[in-house]
A and B are shown apart, each in its own frame.
Chain A
Amino acid sequence: MKCADRVFIQKYIDSEMDINTMRIFDKHIIRCQKCSELFDEVESLNRIAESKMKGYAAFLEKSVLKNNKLKRQKLRKGPGQFSVKSGKRLFAAKKGIAAACILVLLSASIAIQPVRAVIAETLKIFRMDEVKGINISLDDINMIKKQLEQGSGDISLDRIGRISLVKGERKNVAPYEAKNKVGFEVKYPAVFSGAAPHTTLMGETTLELNLNVKNINEVLKSFGGEKILPPEIDGRTVSLDIAKSVVTEYNVSGVSCEIVQTRLPVLQVPDDVDVDGIYEAFLQLPLLPDNLKRQLKSTKDWKSTIYIPLIETKGREVNINGYTGYLYSDDIEGTATKSWLIWNENGIIRGIESYTDPEKLLEIALSMR
């Protein structure tokens, strides 16, 4: 036979050739010094590489084991997100409410309900320091939805805890009177100048949440959560104080829109309650898509952040005179376009919603003085 090259010898070592060819080479190598030397070289390299790779693999394995705790956690958070815990009763989400309560607790308002409602919720409930867009794809939403819908049972708000809303007084005021009553600058769109808006002043509102830890933990577990809430917070009250707000409604040449303006709200939690623990407990729920978790985790101070879901194709970031805003539009069953816009202007949240196209809404927002 012809003398062998490296590749041939490699295949020979790896037994990747038919037995006859191997036999022929066996005979050849005895008589051929060149092949014998090359064989020794390749064989030795192969052995070295093998031992190095083994050492490397062992090191990696050890490091994996060392981080076992961490890993187990990650494992849970991992594709387990799609594994429905067997044997356990699943609490199905009667879409809106169940989703809303998990998500309100999370303060990440992911749209299981129509986005519009979520934005409205966000506007009326969680207003903090910062408004931050969270990217989420429709696939992700559907995946969460699917998970929530799987199984039987029910989650209702009263299982999670007691939510009480102490609504502030609502009163109609003269269009420009509101300005003096809320303690912050109320702006009006210049494009509607001359029109008198219907103005409503909303008093301070408090949303109180009494957690039923046992039930919440049951829900967390049923969705594959490993971390559960500490028993100490059972029955404790978390409250969200919402400042006065002004709602101005315009109806100008067939376009009606509603503008809400308010200060950022304050979240109040008893001193000894570990809010980060609560947040983490929800964050680790396997049903949250990982990219969402990552985004939520990367927020430095989640306690003072309102999350606005930026659903692909439906929402986008816009610039409102130097402030970041989030603009959405949705076709309501093909008949009309509903748009809404929310932005944070130095601690004042302003939101507009209207049955008009998003560009028009942006124009209104940009003209606010």
Chain B
Amino acid sequence: MGDDLKADKFNISELFEEYYNQYYNRVLMHILLLTGDRQAAEDIVQETFIKLYKGPPNHSNVAGWLMKVSTNLAYNHIRREKKVKKMDNMQIESDNVISIEDAAIKNTEVRYVRSILDGMKPRDRICLVLKFLGYKYNEIAEITGIRVSTIGKVISRAITKFKGKIEGGV
């Protein structure tokens, strides 16, 4: 009897490790795109997997679950950051503000994209990134909790941010 119990435990942890190995990079990339901040991204991915361990979803779509949970964490993070930045510097909203971290990146195009993303409203950014990661609107809605009918509007608005700044950036 004791052996059965052990075997059960064993499988769960084995499965967890499998998920971890399988999805870690994918979720990390995804969150990196959302936050642009490696440290934060790693923390978020970490927290996500901890959540997975503590309370795995009762359905089999673990990948979807991971994306959803990590995106929400990233969402909160971006909003929090934004608030802090706003308090620090009211000018941060401007698209051309480049953070210290950005300055370390020599690639101007990367810097440019990042400044655009940073200048967006958190939910616009999330939707945009998810769209370019290949998610359908209904999946984005599912992940973010934003109504499907609104997603198109959000993405459309986010995309216009790329307007007219290409020349300056590249």
Contacts and interface: CB of A to CB of B under 8 A. Distances in A.
Contact of A49 (B20, B38, B128, B151): B128
A155 to B, nearest CB: 18
Nearest to B28: A64
Contacts of B113: 52-53, 55-56
Q: Tell me whether chain B's interface is mostly helix, strand or loop, or mixed.
A: helix
A45 B110 CA distance: 17
A59 B110 contact: yes
Interface of A: 6-11, 14, 16, 42, 45-46, 48-50, 52-57, 59-61, 63-64, 74-75, 78-80, 82-86, 150, 152, 290
Contacts of B59: none
Contact of B29 (A45, A61, A85, A152): A61
Nearest to B16: A83
Contact of A42 (B16, B151, B156): B156
B132 to A, nearest CB: 4
A56 B50 contact: no
The winner among A45, A56, A150 for most chain B CB atoms within 10 A is: A56
Interface of B: 6, 9-10, 13-14, 16-17, 20, 24-25, 28-29, 32-33, 38, 42-43, 45-46, 48-50, 52-53, 107, 109-110, 112-114, 116-117, 128-129, 131-132, 136-137, 151-153, 155-156, 158-160, 162-163, 166
30 contacts: A6-B156, A10-B152, A14-B131, A14-B155, A16-B152, A45-B160, A49-B128, A49-B159, A50-B132, A52-B116, A52-B162, A52-B166, A53-B129, A54-B132, A56-B117, A57-B29, A64-B29, A78-B24, A78-B45, A79-B48, A79-B52, A80-B17, A82-B49, A82-B50, A83-B13, A83-B20, A84-B10, A84-B17, A86-B13, A86-B17
